[in-house]
């Protein structure tokens, strides 16, 4: 017989957070096989495996990996990583396979990589020993988890591991940023403008702290590279930029702060309205200048390297353009904003042309 007035009970504790795997986050068909092989080599599965327990991105998983693969993975996993960091109650599994830990004994410290789990709060670790300034693999040992803490392993292209660093907690990083913001507010800096969709930022916390500590020094120079491209003129285009630092040997190194943007056109646009690389290159230049001015409050100088000579020539004369030439200028919305950036930066912003080699 049928029953009526049936009550279904729902337990709120039964609803658990669904973890997103790396393969599910990387939805593009290009390089999907290389991404799958990379996850197998590094023993990665979920988005949480890409981060340390304090939320910073792991650098050891990119050792001896091509930069193109890292860019593809970071571009697709960046939204999921940002969402993961904001979720309350979700923490990285510190003693998961592939992570690096330090075993604190009475006077010595031993470092190793977790290779397996064992009962009674024990882990199986491949110990690494230092010999002649190089870290090499050792024997497999069993450590107790109550004496182990997670550490950051820094690698290089020639040697897999070159040093180990202690992780800073989230509270320590937040206090450092709060101190920097208090110093900036005490100097009477104007409030930040709202981001109008000019960038989708990515990077690690140490990179932003490095920038903020140098933002108020007028003798500092920050370098950047920008580029824009159009694949289908009827749908829109993309642009991207990255901040770099020039070392003492005149070699450029990536800071770790990079961004990308996309201008997508809807179905209501005119059929004669097409996207072009000139506009995307200008948007990349506008994005990096606007970010350094509003978000970083950069007081030093800026050097931007790009391969579009037409954008560089227009930027040089956009501040004092005659009325007749301004009527013929295309993409007036972009160049009106770039004109304001040029007024702000003045001679502190230098645009250089560089050749893109593939």
Among the residue ranges 31-40, 71-80, 332-341, the one predicted with the least confidence is: 71-80
Q: Is the pLDDT of residue 243 over 80?
A: yes
pLDDT band of 283, cuts 50, 70, 90: very high
CA distances, 70 to each of 75, 224, 339 (Å): 8, 19, 35
Strand order in the sheet with 148-154: 134-144, 122-131, 109-118, 100-104, 148-154, 163-166
Q: Is the pLDDT of residue 13 over 90?
A: no
First to last CA, the chain: 74
Are the CB atoms for 164 and 149 separated by under 8 Å? no
Are the CB atoms for 294 and 243 separated by under 8 Å? no
Strand ranges for the chain from DSSP E = 100-104, 109-118, 122-131, 134-144, 148-154, 163-166, 200-202, 221-232, 236-246, 252-264, 301-306, 349-353
Q: Is 178 or 242 the better-scoring residue by pLDDT?
A: 242
Q: Is the pLDDT of residue 24 over 80?
A: yes
At residue 345, the pLDDT reads 92
Among the residue ranges 54-68, 179-193, 208-222, the one predicted with the least confidence is: 179-193
**Domains of the chain (ranges, CATH numbers):** 18-86 (no CATH), 100-168 (no CATH), 192-266+273-353 (3.30.420.10)
294 CB neighbour count, 10 Å cutoff: 17
Average pLDDT of the segment spanning 17-32: 80
Average pLDDT of the segment spanning 62-86: 79
In the predicted model, what is the mean pLDDT of the chain?
77
CA atoms within 13 A on the CB side of 131: 6
> Any long-range contacts for 55-58 (C-beta under 8 Å, 24+ apart)?
55/85, 55/170, 55/205, 56/152, 56/167, 56/204, 56/205, 56/206, 57/81, 57/204, 58/152
């Amino acid at each position: 017989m049928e029953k009526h007035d049936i009550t279904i009970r729902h337990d709120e504790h039964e609803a658990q957070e669904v973890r997103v795997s790396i393969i599910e986050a990387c939805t593009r068909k290009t390089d999907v096989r290389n991404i799958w092989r990379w996850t197998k080599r590094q023993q990665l599965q979920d988005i949480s495996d890409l981060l340390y327990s304090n939320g910073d991105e792991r650098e050891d998983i990119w050792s001896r990996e091509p930069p193109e693969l890292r860019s593809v993975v970071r571009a697709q996993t960046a939204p999921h990583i940002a969402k993961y960091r904001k979720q309350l109650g979700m923490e990285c599994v510190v003693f998961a396979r592939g992570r690096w830990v330090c075993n604190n004994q009475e006077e010595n410290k031993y470092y190793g990589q977790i290779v397996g789990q064992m009962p009674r709060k024990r882990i199986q670790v491949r110990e690494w020993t230092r010999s002649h300034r190089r870290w090499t693999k050792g024997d497999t040992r069993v450590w107790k988890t109550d004496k182990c803490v997670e550490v950051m392993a820094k690698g290089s292209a020639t040697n897999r591991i070159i040093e180990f660093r202690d992780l800073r907690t989230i509270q320590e990083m937040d206090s450092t940023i709060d101190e920097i913001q208090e110093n900036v507010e005490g100097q009477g800096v104007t409030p930040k403008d709202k981001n109008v969709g000019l960038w989708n930022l990515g990077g690690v916390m140490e990179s932003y702290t490095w920038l903020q500590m140098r933002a108020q020094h007028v003798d500092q120079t920050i370098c950047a590279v920008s580029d824009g491209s159009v694949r289908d003129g009827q749908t829109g285009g993309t642009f991207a930029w990255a901040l770099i630092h020039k070392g003492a040997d005149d070699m450029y190194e990536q800071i770790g702060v990079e961004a990308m943007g996309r201008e997508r056109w809807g179905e209501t646009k005119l059929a004669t309205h097409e996207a072009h690389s000139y506009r995307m290159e200008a948007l990349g230049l506008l994005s990096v200048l606007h970010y350094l001015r509003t978000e970083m409050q950069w007081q030093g100088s800026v050097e931007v390297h790009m391969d579009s000579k037409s954008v560089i020539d227009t930027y040089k004369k956009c501040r004092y353009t005659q009325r007749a030439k301004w009527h013929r200028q295309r993409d007036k919305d972009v160049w009106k904003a770039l004109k304001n950036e040029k007024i702000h930066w003045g001679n502190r912003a230098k645009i250089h042309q560089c050749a893109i080699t593939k």
